[in-house]
Amino acid sequence: MPGSFHIRNIPINPGLVLSPMSGVTCSAFRRLIKELNPGAVGLVISEFISVEGLTRQSDRSMAMMRFHPDERPYGIQIFGYDIERMRDAAIMAQDAGADLIDINCGCPAPKVVKKGGGCELMRQPEHLAQMFREVRKAVSIPLTMKMRSGWDEASRNALEIAKIAESEGLEGIAVHGRTRAQLYRGEADWSVVEAVAESVKVPVSGSGDVVDAASAQARKQGKVAGLFIGRAALWNPFVFSEICGGKRYDLRHERDLVLTVLERYLALLREEFHDRVVVGRFKQLVSQMCRGHEWRKDLCRAMKLQDQIDILKRARDSAPDAVRSQSESPTSLQAGAA
């Protein structure tokens, strides 16, 4: 079992967090993961949301903050450079009902770092300290941050940034054990996560390459409080339960289960988005989770929601045990994942 920890008074139990992923961890995906892993997801966090978008009241940014009560505890992650906008966006996130606010200090994308946000903040410790201070003063709910190990090999300053975060009153830190220069290449270096966890009193979680029970056990060392799980939630949406001692699925051989997950995800996406958006979001899960299944290519090529619905229905009708699986409800699906 991965253990648990607290961010102030919020129990993160178990200490497994659905890592924020832009374009993926919308409310529908977060709900799906919580449903598939009952009791095994300690915290979910929104996709990163632009403070520029929020403070300009962009419909898209405002919608990105929304969540379902079942998602709690729920964190909203915000990104940007401007301190006043960061402060105002944090107030908006608090007003939206988030349990905590997370400041993104790790995004490597050129369009984000060029404007001073994401990982670029790690190269501006004084600016970042002031940002933390202003946001801390403005909101009462817990404030956390997520960063990389540093900008590049020559400037791995996660330790320095963690100390700044702690001294400015932040109450949780997550470290992705890669530098900005690495992007997603190579293996995440968890020695940095452990070193940060040793050097501050606030809970420190690690991120990078937790994909199953074995990798979770290997990385949950020393004072590391929690494990963030990102991409593996797409390859194997049952990974949280697996880490908590549940069944390990080989989804290439779980046709009915995969179809049930897809049907549920499509329904959740349709509650949240216009059809056009649903099509693209749905493909993210299909392309990662459905390897080895004959309908994967067709679903990924489909341009219209109705086409995706028809492909799923055909797959269902042609399944050997179609009658039993059609009557599966999300509840039976949870039981299967336990």
Q: Whose Cβ is closer to ligand FMN: residue 145's or residue 333's?
A: 145
- Does residue 75 sit in helix, strand or coil? strand
Site string (278-317) toward ligand FMN, x via CB under 6 A: ----------------------------------------
Give yes or no for residue 229 binding ligand FMN (CB under 6 A).
yes
Question: Which residues are marked as active site?
Answer: 107
**Is 15 one of the binding residues for ligand FMN (CB under 6 A)?**
no
Residue nearest to ligand FMN (CB): 230
Could you say whether residue 205 binds ligand FMN (CB under 6 A)? no
Looking at 10, 35, 41, 47, which residue binds ligand FMN (CB under 6 A)? 47
Question: 2, 20, 53, 142: which one contacts ligand FMN (CB under 6 A)?
Answer: 20
Helix, strand, coil distribution of the chain in percent, nearest 5: 50, 15, 35
- Out of 73, 106, 203, 336, name the contact with ligand FMN by CB under 6 A: 106
Q: Measured between alpha carbons, how far is 65 from 77 in angstroms, rounded to an integer?
A: 9
* Residue 209 binds ligand FMN (CB under 6 A): yes
Tell me the pairing of strands 10-12 and 5-7: antiparallel
User: C-alpha distances in angstroms, 25 versus 19, 32, 143, 234, 284?
Assistant: 8, 10, 20, 10, 11
* Angle separating helix axes 83-95 and 125-138, nearest 10 degrees: 30
Stretch that binds ligand FMN, among 128-136, 197-205, 225-233, 302-310 (CB under 6 A): 225-233
Provide the 8-state DSSP code for 119: G
Beta-carbon count within 10 A of 91 CB: 15
Q: Candidates 5, 28, 44, 48: give the one binding ligand FMN (CB under 6 A).
A: 48
31 near ligand FMN, rule: CB under 6 A: no
Should residue 146 be labelled a site residue for ligand FMN when binding is judged by CB under 6 A? yes
Q: Does 190 bind ligand FMN (CB under 6 A)?
A: no
Q: What is the CA radius of gyration of the chain?
A: 20
178 phi, psi to nearest 5 deg: -130, 155
Least separation in angstroms between residue 214's CB and ligand FMN is 14
Q: Does 176 bind ligand FMN (CB under 6 A)?
A: yes
Q: If binding is defined by CB under 6 A, does position 230 make contact with ligand FMN?
A: yes
For ligand FMN (CB under 6 A), the number of binding residues is 23
DSSP string over 150-203: ESSGGG--HHHHHHHHHHTT--EEEEEEEETTTTT-S---HHHHHHHHHH-SS-
Residues forming contacts to ligand FMN in the complex (CB under 6 A) are 19-24, 47-48, 77, 104, 106-107, 146, 176, 207-210, 228-232
